[in-house]
Each structure stands twice: as structure tokens, then as C-alpha cells.
Structure 1
Amino acid sequence: MKKTNPFFIVSIAIFIIAFSAANAATYTVINTNDSGAGSLREAIIQANGNPGLDNIDFAIPLADPNYSNWTGTGDFWWKITLASNLPDITEDLDIDGLSQSTNIADSNPGVVGTGGTVGVDAIALPQYEKLEIEIDGNDLTEPIRIAGDASNVLIEGICIFNSGGDAILTRGGTGTGYEIRKCFIGVRADGSEPAAGFKNESAGVRANWSAGMSSNITTVDECYIGYNGHSGVIGSRNDEDNPTPPYIGATIIAEYNEVFENGWNSDSQDGIDGNGADNIIRYNLCYDNKSLINNAGSGGGIEIGGYSDLDNLSNNIVENNTCYGNQNHGIVLMRRPTGDEVIKNVVYGNYGPGILVTNRHYFDPVFLVHTYTRYDKITQNSTYDNVGLGIDLCHVEWDDYLNGDEVTFNNDIKIDINANEDMDFPVITEALLTGNSLSLTGYIGTAPDQVLFADSRVEFFISSFDGVIDPNPGVSNDVYPYHGEGKTYLGFLTSDANGNFAGNLDVTGFGLGVGDWITSTATDPAFNTSEFGENKEIDIPSPVVLSSFTADYTDGSPNIIWSTQSETNNIGWNIYRGEDDEDFQNDLVIRINNLMIPGSGTTSTPTDYNYQDNYDVIENNTYWYWLESRSNSGQTTIYGPIPLTIPDSENEDFFPNTLLHSNFPNPLTKTNNFTTTIGFEIKEGETAKLSIFNAKGQLIETRSFTSGIYNEVWEASTYSSGIYFYRLESKSYLKTKRMLLIK
């Protein structure tokens, strides 16, 4: 409680006016009356009639009849109940509600709000001092409005609730520079929820661009904003019912606000809505916002967009906010926002996508414009535990995308009318951890060497995926290991001229370990950001570089043959056999060696191995073999499987089936000298042709074979990275499989 100022005790019966040398004046509100001398209404009327920057402060005495414990909490404040909308503010003005606690008493002490930090950068979020001056909007449509040519208008330290429309509306002419600071909007002066029937029916703060205006830039900062029927804060176009060119939206700057449980009376709005250009929405906490009617683009934390006819949805910044628990998305960019940045936000636990990017519809049939949403950079955010995808590029028309349209799979093209031009996501082919260095390789698109994705920024994140549970249960077209949500940003690489990437990140301090999962996004030079790619499990470099792994049937027994290019601390080998190519992962294999087969320790010299399988086999059956290496540190690496069909003992040259097996290794990389072994069988009495095709379907190699079992080595060092197909064809058999070459 602050001390009472005796000057104002003796002055409560008069309306105090103090003039400055420049004719600016200070008008002091000394009662809670709706009108008349000493009222807030009269102070605004007087200020509107006086040129220059005026001030309104408050010194309402404790004896005022509307000084009370209004919610039964034990704290007291002054309530002004309006009989009609306050006069439009048409001159420069500073309304200082905080002056009441200085001039009379801090009768409502303490703070409300979550506090703590917001955003990836952990920006300190203030708590909010409870207020002494409360305005009951009394179900009026626009109780506080800035209009005309007013500039430099500041409304500070005021609480407003129970408005029948927008509680505070900024809708000037040629004026600029409106600020709402340290206000309670939609809540009571002690921060509590108004009773049913006493909440603001529409927006808490609406900045509206009107015909003839030169600009409308409204700043809302350090405010506690909740329970409003529409958005907590919104920037709107000129006349929503009858828009006239130019189709422009007001600009809002929203910083350090706590925005919650808004939208209960809306079908299209969110916690904070920026429907214009140059909006800055940062350092806010937005949670539990909702929608009465569950339309697309509603019930989220933050929205950029909203009107397909707007001409200036660009250069918006959404930075270092935290959005959680919202009814649909955390953040949405919808219908024509271009050139926007979504940076370092923490977006989690929302009941739709974390970040939704959508055109809503490709062509607006009302305003006859294409609704492009592109060039929107989404970078270094933290997304996790959302029901939908972490980032969803959505192309579903009209209102059918409440939870996004799920995974948009790579297609190696860009489509300008689609969200962020359908930018393809990265594919991580290798993630190897050595100490604090994470080695990464991969490509953008469906295959390596996609020049369309050259010079793209590939960002890497620790994924929220735990390796078991689907991280996005609302996504039906995703399969294990699922498309990730990036929880912790690690760093980035830049793709080369062919859309491939390779490099190392220093991950010191991230606590990253083998078995953790990572994911990634790609952003092209035009700033189109993709969805997250598939999760990739982190491994450590194998102590063995295996150059070949085959099996044949010799002298009545299976013989397993393998070669290494190099070995590091390799103490030995184990060989496992099953009757199906999934037996190893299902723990249905047997180990055919009783003792570990000795390795070569550490050597850079190629080494050849073979081992005979002495377990019983059945003629004409196919068996599958896995090879396991084991290092001094206990690291194990599994290779395979490879198949072997046992011939008829009466005629070992008789082969009952023609069959093409999967090649090994796949993909072909530098570590295996760009070579792979293709296993196949050709039945008795047939010849067959093995053919290799590139991704365009062009034949690049072909070889012919007679009846028998083969393990054919294909060496691809002279070919470019990409997808290749191998096909086995005989008069009774035709089968094609795919392999990947990465350089």
C-alpha cells in the first residue's frame, strides 16, 4: 500500500487542469461518474479540444462510492461504469491509470501472470501489477476508441471488461503511434475471470485500417489479456463488411503480453491476429485460446493472415513467443502472407499442428485473387507434443484443414500456389556421433542430386520422438520412424549445387548420445521452409568398413563369405541364421558360430573371411544370414540379411526357382567403395538377364546368366548419385528392386 497524497485529498471536489508552456494540459479524473466534471468522459472531451499532447491522470478518493472489493478477493479498486461509449480520442493524449496508485493508494497490491520466460531465447516475461482503475464497458460496442487524426496516444494502466464489442479500437485517420501498455483487457482488475455475461464480446484490442488513413501502427505491450470473445489483439482491414481498395490491414506490435482463453465467441480468430504488413509479434505467452465454431484458422495462439483480399501481408515477424494448449494450431500463416519470419518460438501441446502454413484456398472466388502463401521462413523454433505435425504445409481448400493435411511427401517440384511452394524436406541418410561432433549426410527431395534444392539451409534438431511412441497421434498418413517435431535446434548445413548436404555440427552441451533421434527442415534461397523430415536415429561410426558379404552352398554346407576394407578395434564376428528376412528383428534367429570368430583388431589392409554353417538345412529352402561385428568398446554393428537357397542334393545343379534378392549394402557410399552385391537365383533350364537402370529409366548396364545361384557385384564409382533400379528377367520371372547411390 502506497501513502496517500494529501494534495489530492483536498482537491477531490474540483477538476484539476495544469497547463504547460506549449498549451498541453493535464486533466485529473477525481470521480467514477460516467460524465460531468471530474469524470473520465469530461477529461477526454477537454483533451480533444486542446491542441498538443495532453495527459489524463487519476486521483479518485477512497470515499468514492465505486471504490470497493468488487470480486471478494480482499483487494479494492475503483470502477467506472459507462452509460455510453467514451468520446473518440482525436488528439494526442496520455491516459495514465497507474497514477491512481501514486496519487491516492496502491489499494490492489500484488501481481498476476505466469512470469518465467518465453521463446527459445528464454526472454523474461513480466508479471503484471494489479490495477486500481477499472472500466466496466456495460455491454457497449466500442467503449474506448482512438479516431480522427490523433497521434502519440498512450493508454496505460487501465482495466476494461464487459464490452459488447471491441473493448479498445484504434481507427485513426492520418495519425500514428497508438500504444496500449500495462493494461488488463478482458479480465478484472485483480486478474480474475469476469462472471458469465460480463466478458468482452469481441476483440480486446482491435487496430483497424480505415479508408483514407495513412497508417495505423498500434503497439500493445506488457498487457494481461484474457477471456475476450474474439482475438485478444487483432490488426484488421479497413471496412470488414464493405472493403474498398486498397485492401490494407493495420499493423500491430505486440510484445511481453500474456494472452489466454480468447476466442470463445468467434469462428475465425486467435490469441493474437496480425492481418497486415510489418507486424511484430514477439515475447508473448499465448495459451488456451479457442473458438466457438471450429473453423479453419481459428482457435490458435498466433495468426498472420486471415483475409485473402489484403494486399500487404508481408514482412511480419513472429519471434520468441511461447504458444501452448491452444484449441487448434500454435501459429498459423494463412491466405497470402509472404516474406514472413517465424523465429525461435516454443510451440507445444497444441491440439493441431504446431506451425501451420496454408493458402486456405487456391483461388478466392469473391475477390478473384490467388492466395499465395510462400517465402515464409520458419527457423530455429522448438516444437513438440502437438497433436498435428510440428510444421504442416497445408493445401486443403476452404475450411477442411483444422488439423492440417498431414505429411506432404516430397515430389521434387515446386508449386507456386501451394504453401511455401511445396518445399521438399531433407532426408538424413547418416547421422554419426564421434565425441561432440555430429557427422551428417543426406539430400533434399526424393533422391540425391536435385539441383532444384541447391544452396538450401538445412536445419537440424533434436527430435521429440522417443523411438517408440508416435509423436503426432493426429497424423494418419505417417509411419515409423515418423516425421519429426524439432524440439532443440542444433545447427545447420547448406546444401551443395545438387541439393545434397554433408558436414559436421559441434553438439557440445546438448547432451546428445547414440540412440537419440534428430529431424530436419530445409529452407530454399527464397525462404520457403519445408515440413520436418523423417526422424533419424544417431549412431556412431562403425569400426568396420565392410566391402562384401555373400553366401554360397559348397561341399554340402552353406558357406558365408565376407571381406572388409578396414577394421578398428574389431575383436570379432557372430553370424546369425533365420528362415525369414525379418527373423532377426523378431528374435527368431540362431547363432551358427559357437565361439566368436576372431576379427583383425585394427588394420587398414583388406581382409577376407569365410565360415561354414554346420547346422542342418532343408533342400530347396531359403535361409537368411546376418553378420555382426563387435569392437573392444562393446559396440556392435549388424549387416545383412543375405539369402541362400539350398539346392537339391541329388542334383546340386538343379535350382527350382528364379528369385531376385535385395542388394547389399544399400545405399552405396564411399565407405563401401560405391559397390554392392546383388543376389539372385535362376532355375534349371532358364537363362536370365540382370539389368541396371537410372532414375530416368535409361538402361545403363545389362548382364546375362544361365541356371544357378549368383552374388553379382556392381561397382558404381563412375555414376552420379541417385536412385537406381535393378531388374532380373527370364521367360517365367520379372522383378525390379531399387538401390541408392550417395556420393
Structure 2
Amino acid sequence: MKQSRIALRRLHPPRDRVLTGALIVATIIVGAAGTMVLAALVLWLLTPRGVIYPQSLLSRLSADYRPWSMADRPQLPPIAPDALRQIEQDAMTGDLSGISIVPPAYAQPPVRATVTATPSPLPNTPAPTATASATATAPPTDTATAAPTDIGFVPSAITTDSVIPTALPSVVPPTATLPPHPATRPPVSTTAPLPASTATVAPTLTPYPTAPPIILTPIPPTPTPLASPTFAPPPTMPEPTATATATSSATATAAPTATATETPTATPAPQFIVNDPGDAPDANLADNICQTSGGMCTLRAAIQQANARPGVDEIWFNLSGSSPYTIIVSSPLPAITEAVIIDGWTQPGWTAAPLIEVRGMPTTGNGLTITAGGSTVRGLVINRFSGHGLLISSGGGNTIQGNYFGVALDGSTAAPNGGSGVSIENSSGNMIGGTTPQARNVLSRNAVNGIRIWGSASTGNRIIGNYIGVAADGTTPRGNIDDGIDLQDATDTDVGGTLAGEENVIACNGDDGVTLKPGATSARILGNRIFANGGQAIDLNNDGPTPNDDMLMAGMANRGMDAPVITGASLSGGSLTIIGYIGTSPGQTAFSGAQVEIFLSHGTVGSMGEGRQLLGVLTAAADGAFSGTFAVSGVNAGDVVSATSTGAYTSEFGANGLVGP
């Protein structure tokens, strides 16, 4: 029997092994499954429940959990169960398109960045551009940047608002204050403020955080002081462009910092500054640098450089030593072929009278020659040239102001040019003089005329506010050898005017005060003091007194405008009454509406008159007659008065009339 059991066990050994293996496998499977279930439970406890519950379940049970206070807790409106289930389902599936996770009741307000600009005290001055950025380094991390806003010049304060998305917490950058504006030409206060820029960034629409919010209380930053830039003193230079940048950053552990900087872009200094009274030429015309072989800048070299490049250039002066200064020109200066501003007023120490003398030698031709239009010459004394002091040929629209032609630096001592002080030949629209004492030219003691304008292309030139034939004091005789003003074939010239400061003093010249050569020459001659000249005050056709003929004739200078005839002049106290007509007799309708200027004259009754002092202005009636009474001073019974008439153009002075009681 025992042998039978042994034999039976020997027949079934595999069955025991199979059962043992199955038991081991089952144990492993059950253990793994239990471990997975336990891990899933732990993960479920640790994982936050979507966006609706701000904390995980485990965090609520931990010792570190601190419920929000009522001040921190957002007040959530009730949500319907169906809506809640839909939100949870969408959050778990990741399908969040087209829905707002945060209900509107507690969405954060939009950010508004406000940039306020006050008007610039200087017209046409570009306002600076302000850039503000705010960065919050805290869970979650977001960055918001306010794009630059170019306000530009505005006539009044303007506020521009724009919506800028950002994240919690909000950070308010400091206001960046710009430094004073640099000086300009003509000088202005360097303390004039530019527009201030203020940028403010606040929260905008953002998903609610998944952790208790971080409340930041930024420490008000102290902006870095701005250094005011120092600019070169030359006047009338375009304004520099200033760029201001304000940056603010905040984190949970650090207060925001602010930095404000300005990078001005200064306009380059004037192209050419004469610092050498010599006469050497420029060493290299291709380098755009006024520099002689000796390393200095002369007037000759500056003109050469200005001619070498297109566009309007400026020639300023900064001669060293004590004033006045003399530039001796040994050979003709280059003609000015490109528009240029030669500005003697820029010499340090200048206030009103010129400080720089440009002196010629007996064989040096004209002092300056301008063939380019749009040029300016001011603040120079030009004398002792064998030709004209200044010749303007062809190119028009030039301005000549504040110069002496034919006298020395003192404005009185004779230093004649061999031609005229200023000669304009076939050039139009030029301005000789101005309405201020600084703009006045003195054109005296020249060997020919003070001013000569010739050529049929010379139209619309103006001569105002000058001393022609007297010294810079306006009274000392320093007459030109020939005429004060000589016009030939030039048309529509204005000599003087009706506005304050436009009158010229034309006196003490060797021949006529103003002469108009035969032909189509025409001019309006108004408001001037023309007296004590060797010939007539005004001479039409350059042939002596022109008799009245009741006609306006083409082909004659000023169309042969007839002069006024004064038939009565009576003084009563300080009132002067004048009666007269234009033409050979009353009733000449051709002179209706003409302007009649009455002057205190000199000489005998019936002789050709002149204009020592303008007393008043009358207007001719339809028949050419005129009469009127006006207040005067310095006129006495026994004096003589004379008059001119101006319709389209101006007549000669009429015969003197006696002032009676």
C-alpha cells in the first residue's frame, strides 16, 4: 500500500507545482491592483478640483490650510447645478472654447493706460514719446506693456485712453518728468518745460488664480534724476527730439523700481563757422569741412564749401580777439552759386551795429556776388571794392539787411566802393532793408549809386527802412556820388511804404534822390524822406522836371504820372489845411482815388519840391481834386510844402506851396 501511494505521488508531481504558481500569480495581481487603487485615491485627494474650487481636498485637511478671510474671499454668485456640472465637464475635457470660466460678477476690471500731454511752449515742437511697462513675477506670471503713444504738438492738453491687458497684481509706474528744453535761436529760456508723460497700468480680465491671491503694496519709487543736456549756444536751430522711457517692475518679494532717461538728439552746429580773418582758400572741397591748409575757416573757404554742396548753408562767425574785425580780400571772392545765409549777427558781441568789415583792394571787383536765389547777407561792412559792394544777378528772393556799404565800421567814415553799394541786375523779389534798426542798411559814399536796379527781369523788388546818402546816425551827410536809387527797366519796385519803419532816408546824394530811367520802369515811392539831393527828389525819365499833361502814357517811367498842384496851405494853431488837384487843372478823372502825400519841403515857392517830413496823406476825389486838414507839428507860417501823387505808380514832387496863416 505504501508503495502504491509513493507510486501515485510519482504519477502527479506537476499538479502541485501548477497550483503553487497560480497562487503566487494571484497574490501578485491582487497586490498590484490594490496598490493602483490606493495610488488613484491619493492622487484624487491631492489634485485641485478644476477652476471652481481654489484648493485641493487634502490641502483643506492639512494643518497649514488657512481659510480665506471675508475680505479676501470673492463673493461668488450662486451657480445652477446644471451650469456647474457643465463647467466641470468642460474643464475636465479641456473644451473651454467659447465660454467664460470666470463669471462676469467677479471678473477683474479692464486696464486703462492714460497718457496726458501738456502743450509745448514752443510751436511745432514734437512731444516726447513715453513707454511704460509693468511686470509682475508671482504665480501666475504675466506681463503687460503699454505701447508708446506719440502725442505730438497740441494746442491744449489732450488725454488718450487705450485698453491694455495685464495681470494681477497692478503696478503703477512713476511719472517721468522731462528736463528743460535746450536753447534755440533766437535764444529762449532753457527752463521752458516740455510735455510730461504719465502712464498708469491696472488689472484687466484674467482667469481667477488657483491659489490665494498675492497682495502687493508697491513702495513708491524714487525716479532717477534727469540730467539736463547742454547744447551749443547758436540761435535758431531746430528743436532736438527727446525720448523718455519709464519702466516699472514688481515681484512678490521686491518693490518696483523706476528709471527715467532722456537721449536728446542735438541739431548739428552751423555748417561753416568763420574763425580766421585771413583770405586763404579751402584745402579740400570734397570733405564738406571749411578748413584751409592752416586748419582754419576763412570767409573765402566757407563760400567755397557752401557752393560745393546743394541746399541752403549757413556761414557764421566766431572771430577771436577784440572787435571790430577786418577781413581783407586780396582777390575776388567766389560768386555765391548755392543759397547761403552769411550772418554777421552771429559774431559774439554783436548787438546792433556790424562788427565785421570785408575790405577790398583797388583791383578786387565786387565785394560779394550772388547768383543763387534765396540767400541772405546781414551784419557786414563791405567797402573799398573796385566794383559794387554787392551784386545780385539772376537768382531772386534774396535778403540784404543790417549792412554798411561804402562807409567804414563806424558807419560814417568814407570807404567807398567803386560801383554802387548794392546792384540788382535782372533779379526779382529781393528785399533790401527792413522795418527795424537792426535790419537797416547804410548805403553811402559809394562812387556811383547807393542802390541800382536794372533789367526788365527785375520785378517786385523792395527797398525799405534804409539810410541812403547819410551816415548811420541818419543825419550826417555821406552822399553817394550819383543817385541815391537808380532804376532802369525795373518794374513794380517798392521804395518805402505806408507801414511804420518802411520809410527810407534818401538825402545828400550828388544827383537825384530816386531816378527812373526812360522806358517801362515803374515804382511806388511812399512815405520816404527825400531831400537835399543835388538833383530832383524824384526824377521820372531822368530828364529833369516832367510837366503835367493830364495823361498816363505807356512807355514812360511810371507812365508819366502827373504831380499834385497845391493851391492853398493854411495853418491854424496845430492844424494844417491843404487844397489842390492833380494834373493841369481840376476835373482830371484819370487821377481819381490817387493817394496824395503832403511833405514839409524846402526852397522857394514854385520851385520843385522835396520831402523833408511827411505831414499827412489825402485821397483825390473823382475829379482829381483833394483837400483836407490834419494836425502837424514843427510847421510854421512861411514854410513851404510839396506833395506826390500815387495811383498805380508815383509822380515827381510838385511845386512848393506857401504855408499861410
TM-score by length of 2: 0.49
Structure with the higher strand share, 1 or 2? 1
Structure with the higher helix share, 1 or 2? 2
TM-score by length of 1: 0.44
